Chains A and B, each alone.
Chain A
Amino acid sequence: MKRKLLAASSVACLMLSGAVYAQDMTVGFSQIGSESGWRAAETTVTQQQAKERGIDLKFADAQQKQENQIKAVRGFIAQGVDAILIAPVVATGWDDVLTEAKDAEIPVVLLDRQIDAPDDLYLTAVTSDQVYEGKVAGEWLAKEVGDKDCKVVELQGTTGSSPAINRKKGFEEGIASNPKITIARSQTGDFTRTKGKEVMESFIKAEGGGKDICAVYAHNDDMAVGAIQAIKEAGLKPGTDIKVVSIDAVPDIFLAMEAGEANATVELTPNMAGPAFDALAKFKADGTAPPKWIQTESKLYTQADDPKAVYEAKKGLGY
């Protein structure tokens, strides 16, 4: 019985390994986990991008633990993959395992976050520029309001988190060109829908029932969706009476845009792997090293960009 089982499983194994050798590049991907919709979408898009290029992607979910990520990367090295992608859970503690990868001559690309390590230990890092994201949102608003007076309320991300700090800074840079715009109130909504709604309700009460507010800027779409709810409950029309601009470009905000309730969003693209694979392909082909930082596009979407179609394209990605 046992022998039969062994024989059967070894046949199955041979079939599996046959499929593996058909492709020309094997890449290991150590993902943090699936803590947010965006993270899940990043995983889906990475797998799609690998498939398009005929890359055999080895995926390891670290369940939010660095020790699991280190284990996975060491496993990839032992396996002899051609390249490794890491979305690092924390910034520290990578020197040893990256040195090991370097000794094995396996290029490493960081996705979505930077780390505290000498930059000769990795090939490149693919991330967005959070300050620039805020700036794109600010510049859109500066153009949109023209020479009318405009009081803006701001829903910040989690206090002290780097996206909250950077997206605030960028937005202020973006609206600086238009002196008519002032930020009247700014408070944290913790990146969540419920807090976004609560804080927006208090803003509306504080600003004469919302009549004085011309726009709301939210550091992410979830808070914007909460704010839209609060605006509607106060008897005002979101998107018309109070303009709504936010960042991330998750599917739900496109539904709001389709309904005319949100005005603009700046995309934090889940496609970090595409540019990484391109850089790796070039590096493997003729040894040209990419720059140490590849900035992803921060694309602006407005109601004119066919939000329904974008929603349809995004909803299957696992957000």
Chain B
Amino acid sequence: MIRARNLPFVATVVIFLLAYALCALQFPNMLSFRVAGNLLTDNAFLGIAAVGMTFVILSGGIDLSVGSVIAFTSVFVAVLIRAGVHPALAFALALALSTGFGALMGLTIHALKMPAFVVTLAGMFLARGAAFLISTDSVPISHDFLRTLKGLYISLPDKGRLTFLAMLMLAAFVIGVVLAHRTRFGANVYALGGSSQSAELMGVPLRRTTVQLYAFSGFMAGLAGLAYTLYTSAGYSLATVGVELDAIAAVVVGGTLLTGGAGLVLGTLFGVLIQGLIQMYIVFDGTLSSWWTKIVVGLLLFAFIVLQRLILLASERRAAMRAAHGG
């Protein structure tokens, strides 16, 4: 018996498998390691950002700065590498900066008791503006170190590749799952999402958890920025506009409650893959408008929010009935 709380996750996985099967029926080519590998590589930066977003949403917050931080990181790294800095050092600096930026936002949210929505909206403009300040042009990069990274892949049958980017994303999800379900931090995040008041009463350190949370999201956004830079071999300040919304959509379609407290990190992976699958289908079909991606994701989002609401109402009614019987 599936627990009601996990029903959205199961629904996501079933939808993904069913959709993939339908696609493969129409285009047998889609059932290949090559397409499966592409699906992971092409959505790596979105997936990595969505891991951070999952934690933020689990805690009942939101991080709108993700897309801008990705763009900032990509431009920052590209300009540093162009100036002769070793990519490894540039990557470390970028991650430190994005993590610090996230921590600062977390601190502001806690100290000023401001909604995360407002603080991260400011962060979004700040990071995007800073990216433009560094360079408005698309900055190409090429370095042996980057070629080495891209050369790290596992060959799959029929010319498929599990690329470095795909492995990076899978690693991000593994870290996410472990953090969420095996650490104190993860437990605190779930508690915070349930109710911050009762979390405080239970002894959850609100300040530390909030700062850690947004620092983690900033780190993941920075990592996503590095993935994006590797993916396009360039930094561009206009890149990834609105990716935070794609990430939020992936989290919700992945079965996490938008109000926080319930959900699984692994579900987000399927949320990302469903979005990637729709885009892939549109390319294979070749006659549909690409805006169908947004329409289908919108419909899925709506369906999941309704599903979550129904589950919540059902469990409340069950609790009320139990209380009545018990009394």
Binding site for B on A (CB under 8 A): 6, 9-10, 13, 16-17, 28, 56-63, 65-68, 70-72, 74-76, 78-80, 90-93, 95-96, 104, 116
Q: Which residues of chain B are near A79, meaning CB under 8 Å?
A: 27, 29, 283-284
Q: Of A57, A71, A80, A93, which one neighbours B138 at CB under 8 angstroms?
A: A93
When the two chains form the complex, which single residue of A57, A68, A76, A91 contacts B290, counting CB atoms closer than 8 Å? A68
Question: In the complex, how many angstroms separate the beta carbon of B6 from the nearest chain A beta carbon?
Answer: 21
Are B140 and A66 in contact (CB-based, < 8 A)? no
Chain B nearest CB from A92 CB (Å) reads: 4
The closest CB in chain B to the CB of A90 belongs to: B138
10 nearest CB pairs, A to B: A58-B286, A75-B283, A93-B232, A13-B26, A93-B234, A92-B140, A92-B234, A61-B290, A90-B138, A92-B138
A63 to B293, CA, bound (A): 11
Which of A17, A62, A95, A96 is close to B27, meaning CB atoms less than 8 Å apart? A17
Interface residues of B in 121-166 (CB under 8 A from A): 138-140, 142, 150, 159
Assuming the contacts A70-B42, A71-B283, A75-B38, asked whether A93 and B233 have C-beta atoms less than 8 A apart, the reply is yes
**Complex CA–CA separation, A93 to B236 (angstroms):** 10
Can you identify 18 A-B contacts, CB atoms within 8 angstroms?
A10-B25, A13-B26, A58-B283, A58-B285, A59-B287, A63-B290, A67-B228, A67-B232, A70-B42, A70-B231, A75-B280, A76-B283, A90-B138, A90-B236, A93-B140, A93-B233, A93-B234, A95-B233
Is B239 in contact with chain A by the CB < 8 A criterion? yes
A18 to B14, CA, bound (A): 29
Q: Which residue of A has the minimal Cβ distance to B294?
A: A63
* CB nearest to B233 among chain A residues: A93
Residues of B within 8 A of A (CB): 22, 25-27, 29, 32, 34-35, 38, 41-42, 45, 138-140, 142, 150, 159, 228, 231-234, 236, 239-241, 279-280, 282-287, 289-291
Compute how far the CA of A279 lies from the CA of B67 in the bound complex, rounded to whole angstroms: 40
> Number of A-B pairs whose CB atoms are under 8 Å?
100
Of all chain B residues, the one with the shortest Cβ separation from A2 is: B18
**Most chain B beta-carbon neighbours within 10 Å: one of A16, A60, A67, A78:** A78
Pick the contact of A78: B32, B45, B232 (CB < 8 A). B32
- Asked if B279 and A66 make an inter-chain contact with CB atoms under 8 angstroms apart, the answer reads no
The residue on B at minimum CB distance from A31 is B290
Nearest opposing residue in chain A for B34, CB measure: A78
Report the nearest A residue to B22, measured CB to CB: A9
Using A67-B228, A68-B290, A78-B29 as known contacts, say yes or no to A60 and B140 having CB atoms under 8 A apart: no
